[in-house]
């Protein structure tokens, strides 16, 4: 669970910085622990003074910090405080950082900051995350799986059918750490894309980012995707393509079954099941496993 939360907050370094959030991570048992501290700040802020190296293994200090913040469990546990170090919220499972930021932005101390930052023009520009193909793909390596949909036209029948199959799938996509990348357009001047990031705790919210025409072009070249035809692919957390799909999927269950068969995913499932994290009974939506008269669900696995 720590790894899931770490991967989640690493995607929001800028947002952490503008909110002046420091992360204290405590590892180990209640009687023998170590800790690390990461300060996130805006570039113009004065750097904070760091702790001494020996403090990170100082058992009395770690125990005092645990007691003060209520971190008295051997299981995963996370708390959120304001500048006064009073606990504002507690979390027993990994949480989407957008939800944390929304809550932090309600603090009286944060409201004053936001007013000042607005005057100074301090903001996080999402386009900075996708300046190059390498930077874009590195965001997913060992953090998220990527489901890519490419179409020459957003009104193409196959593309619209796939959008229908994705309806109400935020929970299933999120729990499987699946992001959806939509690539549209045939010619450079018509190209565009959208990246959809789903919270890893399975909530229904989704964060969307625009993808530039040049990056759409580079992604297609990297995966050898023709802009002339509809096609889809599934990329694993290791960065390798797991399967190609030349036609739309009537049911996302085909992709979910493939993902759930992966070794890393089985480990994720074991953790999620122990925490009771699951989606509603109508798991896959779409038309189901058995209604595929034209065989549109078949893909080419690797």
Q: Mapping DSSP to helix (H, G, I), strand (E, B) and coil, where does residue 194 land? A: strand
Q: Quickly state the pLDDT bin for 232 (edges 50, 70, 90).
A: very high
d(CA 19, CA 131): 24
The alpha helices in the chain, defined as continuous H runs, are: 2-10, 13-18, 59-69, 97-104, 108-120, 133-138, 157-165, 170-175, 213-223, 253-260, 263-274
pLDDT of residue 97: 87
Q: Quickly state the pLDDT bin for 56 (edges 50, 70, 90).
A: confident
The whole-number average pLDDT for the span 246-251 is 92
Q: Quickly state the pLDDT bin for 41 (edges 50, 70, 90).
A: confident
C-alpha distances in Å from residue 240, one per residue of 16, 223, 236, 260: 30, 10, 6, 16
- Domains contained in the chain, CATH given: 2-120 (no CATH), 129-301 (3.40.30)
pLDDT of residue 10: 81
């Amino acid at each position: 669970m720590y790894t899931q939360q770490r991967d989640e907050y690493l995607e929001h370094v800028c947002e952490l910085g503008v909110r002046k959030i420091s992360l204290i991570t405590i590892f180990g048992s209640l009687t023998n622990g170590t800790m690390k501290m990461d300060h996130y700040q805006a570039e113009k802020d004065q750097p904070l003074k760091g702790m001494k190296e020996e403090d990170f293994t100082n058992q009395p200090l770690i125990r005092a910090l645990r007691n003060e913040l209520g971190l008295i469990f051997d299981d995963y546990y996370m708390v959120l405080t304001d500048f006064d170090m009073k606990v504002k919220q507690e979390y027993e499972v990994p949480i989407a950082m957008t939800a944390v930021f929304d809550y932090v932005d309600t603090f009286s101390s944060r409201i004053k900051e936001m007013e000042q930052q607005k005057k100074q023009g301090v903001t996080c520009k999402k386009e900075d995350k996708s300046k190059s193909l390498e930077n874009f793909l590195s965001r997913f390596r060992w953090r998220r799986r990527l489901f890519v949909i490419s179409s020459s036209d957003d009104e193409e029948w196959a593309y619209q059918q796939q959008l229908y199959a994705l309806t109400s799938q935020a929970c299933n996509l999120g729990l499987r750490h699946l992001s959806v990348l939509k690539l549209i357009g045939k010619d450079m001047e018509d190209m565009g894309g959208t990246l959809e990031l789903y919270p890893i705790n399975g909530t229904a919210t989704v964060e969307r980012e625009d993808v530039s025409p040049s990056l759409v072009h580079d992604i297609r070249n990297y995966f050898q995707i023709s802009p002339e035809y509809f096609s889809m692919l599934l990329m694993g957390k290791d960065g390798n393509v797991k399967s190609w799909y030349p036609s739309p999927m009537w049911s996302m269950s085909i992709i979910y079954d493939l993902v759930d068969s992966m070794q890393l995913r089985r480990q994720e499932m074991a953790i999620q099941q122990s925490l009771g994290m699951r989606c509603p009974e109508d798991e896959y939506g779409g038309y189901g496993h058995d209604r595929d008269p034209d065989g549109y669900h078949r893909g080419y696995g690797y």
